[in-house]
Amino acid sequence: MYMVKEYANASKAQYRDALDVIEEFEKELSEMKGKCIDIGCGPGDVTKKLILPRLSPEAELVGTDISKPMIDHARQKYLDEKRLSFFELDIETTALPNEEMGQYSNALSFYCLHWCQNAWQAFENIYKLLQLGGKALVMFLAWNDGFDAYMKVHENPQYKPYMEVDNHNTQVSIYKKLTEDYSPNRSSFQDADRFVPFFHRSKDSRAALRTMLNDIGFEVLHCSRREKSFVYQNMEILKSTETSAVFLRLFNCIVLRVHGFRSHMIAVNPFISRIPDHLKEEFEDVVVREVASRKILFTNKNDNGQQEYSILDRYHILVAYVRKPSSTY
Ligand SMILES: C[S@@+](CC[C@H](N)C(=O)[O-])C[C@H]1O[C@@H](n2cnc3c(N)ncnc32)[C@H](O)[C@@H]1O
């Protein structure tokens, strides 16, 4: 999924958005005591630098992630932090370990849950992880037109085999169950779809999330959808000459360079690890081109006085703060 170093170096937008929400909920975080869990902690930087210092001093924080390389990296990097530990956990699992049930006073999750196609399962697991009365603060991506680029690239016969996997049937049934109630608008399902966030096609993602949380049993204390934007302005020349030529035609520009943006796209692209080496660079170019063609490009001046292109990325996030009731009936 994610490449550790690449993600750590190209996740400025995620870090900034997590900080915004964490600062907004600073009071709530300061009241979090006991054993807290960060779900989808990635390299552990947000866990250590943004979350941990804001929790009550008596709190202990456990960072969890589906990715072993992420957990290994976080463990190694934050070895000396006594109140912090890390372990592997798939929040979408249908077999949540018994010993983890009801263990956490609070749960946090930033920029992870959009990876879960079975969003219901992920939220149900968060419910199970919490103690009675426990609270969760989550933020994740709801919509980004860049995700439609995956579906477009998937149509290309050269890449199609690498964007389709085995558990198609499982995903279809999950999808059918969820669409009955939460109605994103699509009729077919492919592997590439699996990496398109569940709420991406919802007509009203905030309402769909609120309904899902209520149905699971949470009290919803806050649920909002926010529009965000980020400008990728560092430059990096596209490597493939053919792709660059297409870009030049598309945007009628003298030089188009896509950096920061390209690094970011590659760091978060779920298909790259499946692509054979001889096709990798070309695939990266095609994905970057497809995503960039959906964005707003504008010229700026770099430090050398040259004109370059920046990319404005607009997207939506969902933020929810929920509570597991103190008693179950
Ligand atoms: C964009 S990173 C966010 C990392 C960190 N929370 C941050 O804000 O920088 C998303 C992380 O979610 C993890 N992830 C994806 N699916 C997951 C799942 N089903 N269970 C747990 N973690 C998952 C990925 O491995 C990745 O490290």
Q: Which of 112, 171, 230 maximizes ligand 1 atoms within 8 Å of its Cβ, making it the mutation to test the pocket?
A: 112
pLDDT at 241: 37
pLDDT at 12: 84
pLDDT digits (tens, 9 = 90+) for 287-301: 888 888 888 888 877
Q: Which of 5, 72, 115, 116 maximizes ligand 1 atoms within 8 Å of its Cβ, making it the mutation to test the pocket?
A: 115
Instruction: Assign 28 to helix, strand or coil.
Output: helix
Nearest ligand 1 atom to the CA of 1 is 25
Q: Is 85 exposed, middle or buried (0-12, 13-18, 19+ CB in 10 A)?
A: middle
Say yes or no: CB of residue 112 within 6 Å of ligand 1: yes
In which residue are the tokens 């939220």 written?
A: 123
For the chain, which ranges sit under pLDDT 70?
A: 1-3, 6, 8-10, 165-194, 234-260, 303, 328-329
Residue 202's contacts (CB-CB under 8 Å, 6 or more residues apart) are 142, 182, 183, 184, 208
pLDDT at 324: 98
Task: Tell me the C-alpha distance between 228 and 230, whole Å.
Answer: 7
Beta strands in 47-185 (DSSP E): 60-65, 84-88, 104-110, 130-144
Task: Return the HEC string of 185-230.
Answer: CCCCCCHHHHCCCHHHHCCCHHHHHHHHHHHHCCEEEEEEEEEEEE
pLDDT digits (tens, 9 = 90+) for 28-37: 999 999 999 9
Show the CA angle centred on residue 198, arms to residues 292 and 120, nearest 5°: 155
pLDDT at 9: 66
Nearest CA to ligand 1 atom 13: 40
Say yes or no: CB of residue 110 within 6 Å of ligand 1: yes
pLDDT at 182: 44
Residue 234 Cα to chain centre, angstroms: 22
- For residues 85 and 62, the answer to whether their CB atoms sit within 8 Å is yes
Beta strands in the chain (DSSP E): 35-39, 60-65, 84-88, 104-110, 130-144, 219-232, 296-301, 307-323
pLDDT at 145: 84
